[in-house]
Amino acid sequence: MKIKKIAIDPGHGGRDPGVVSGNHREKDINLKLAAELFTQLLNTNYDPLLLREGDLNLNLSCRVQKAADWEADLFISLHHNGHNNKSARGTETYHFPSSKIGQQAAKLIQQELTALLSSPDRGIKSNDRFYVLRHTPMPAVLLEPLFVTNKLDQNILLRENYYSRVSLSLIKALNQLNVIL
């Protein structure tokens, strides 16, 4: 298995809540998903590392450094989207432009997430500005499965099995990635 050590980065934390809409705070949603993904990865022979384990303010360079020191095979940054225009919704996944494996991972993850969530497919996006894509020495992806600011996406988020099903989809994508690498 080429991609076995997975660094999970729950976006934001502590003083930085990320997107806030009503009772929903992105930092909490990201952490909940990260914790579930961590457990599922452990149970499926992957080797996960959780970069933020509680409601902590952890800077981006510290997150990247932790993953680099641990020699992660893949860095997965978990976020949820937001927009002033409350009708904006859908699923998107980012990778660094020159990372072939990052792009392959993003593509597989995006396929699984759009099939699961049935929110509009906003596609995979190449981005050289996000710190955690730019400064990670290993392939990296940044996920934005849904918009916290959109009512329809919120309804999907509130489904009881949201976190477990998204985690399962991510593992399916990782399994596929390991087959093609």
Among 52-60, 79-87, 99-107, 166-174, which window interacts with Zn ion (CB under 5 A)?
Answer: 79-87
Among 53-61, 75-83, 124-132, 169-177, which window interacts with Zn ion (CB under 5 A)?
Answer: 75-83
Residues with Cβ < 8 Å from 45, sequence gap 6 or more?
1, 4
Should residue 79 be labelled a site residue for Zn ion when binding is judged by CB under 5 A?
A: yes
Cβ neighbour number for residue 57 with a 10 Å cutoff: 12
CA dist., res. 115 & res. 173, Å (int): 12
8 Å CB contact between 126 and 140:
no
Residue at token pair 């303010």: 57
Task: Select 11 or 102, whichever has its Cβ closest to Zn ion.
Answer: 11
The contact mask relative to Zn ion for 11-50 (x = CB under 5 A, - = no) is: x------x--------------------------------
Residue at token pair 């996920």: 143
Shortest Å distance, C-beta 45 to Zn ion: 29
Shortest Å distance, C-beta 178 to Zn ion: 27
CB nearest Zn ion: which residue? 79
8 Å CB contact between 148 and 82:
yes
Give the pair of three-digit tokens for residue 15.
């003083």
Task: Select 28 or 112, whichever has its Cβ closest to Zn ion.
Answer: 28
Shortest Å distance, C-beta 18 to Zn ion: 4
What residues form DSSP beta bridges with 74?
A: 6
Binding residues vs Zn ion (CB under 5 A):
11, 18, 79
